[in-house]
Amino acid sequence: MVYTLSWAASSTAASEVLKVKHSLVWSLVILSLVILPAQGARAAQAAEVRDAWWYLEYQVGLGPRNPGSAGHRELTQFLQAELARYADTVLVQDFSTVYDSETLAMRNVAGLFLPEGAAAATTTAAPPSLSPYMIFGAHFDTRPRADWDPDPAKQSTPIIGANDGGSGVAVLLELAGYLAERRPPFPVMLAFFDGEDLGTTAADMFLGSKQFAAAVNPSDVMCMILLDMVGDADLKVHMEGYSASRNPALTAAIWDGAAAIGYGSVFPRATRHYILDDHIPFLERGIPAVDIIDFDYPYWHTTSDTIDKCSRESLSIVRDVVLEAIYGGRVQRLFSGM
């Protein structure tokens, strides 16, 4: 089933009444994606500074965040609360799956950030038709078992997932604060996917991104950029194979941006791996999608994927490359005919 997604532009200027009205109308229109109240940019002004490293430490402090765990429940609530501080609109999408004969509740969480003009035009009865939006995604769940741990006794232990899960979320959350301060030139959606790392085969992985990709209207989406495993202290982000072969111009635009701001050596213009990840469901819907991932990480799916393997600098570099993709103009020019 294909859902039609459109967005209510409820900025800080909109009244709560209007927002409630929108949320009722829109939950009918978009079915599984529910719009929650958001405080928008104004709240960010009073917020403490929380950078990506702060967000990574916070997540790791929750322990494992695999679906069904206490850490997973806490992080889901935290993502909603944090986006409500910064985004114009917060959306959630609930779904469930059966794992180990147990039904697990899962939830995608997303925040929409509008450009200046769209944010001001909030009071029309009819929802505004937004220009195509860019999605930045990351999965927030962590793997329930350390399959690749060298110690067989630990292979059924949930991982902490500092890099695999934590790092992408950390960068996106810092970005939320930034987007609230400096509005993007086009609508930007930050999407936090659940259930990426639960299963053992592609059929039972990427659960949240499959749901999310099915719910968007491809013609509304400019492109989708995924962040996964971007915290490695020894960071080298090669071009991911499916991204580079399916969307060479978009991939080149992002890597050109990285080089332009001095990170050409961290973002080598070569492909090393083809990786099935949360960008694939978007590619399959015809949405240009690129996975920013450093898959050369010896602690992948082990109990050693801990914060000491990550660095503040790596998160900053990826944040800057993402900011360049939004504000630098290269990506926008590719889609200027949309």
Q: Which residues bind Zn ion (CB under 5 A)?
A: 164, 197
Beta pairing, strands 188-193 & 102-113: antiparallel
Q: How far is the CB of 142 from Zn ion (least distance, A)?
A: 8
Q: How far is the CB of 41 from Zn ion (least distance, A)?
A: 33
Residue 114 or 160 having the CB closest to Zn ion: 160
Nearer Cβ to Zn ion (143/238): 143
CB of 170 to Zn ion, least distance (A): 15
Provide, rounded to whole angstroms, the least separation between the CB of residue 318 and Zn ion.
17
**Least distance from Zn ion to the Cβ atom of residue 169, Å:** 13
Nearer to Zn ion, 197 or 220 (CB): 197
Nearer to Zn ion, 197 or 324 (CB): 197
Least distance (Å) between residue 281 CB and Zn ion: 16
Nearer to Zn ion, 197 or 278 (CB): 197
The residue among 88 and 164 lying less far from Zn ion, judged by its C-beta, is: 164
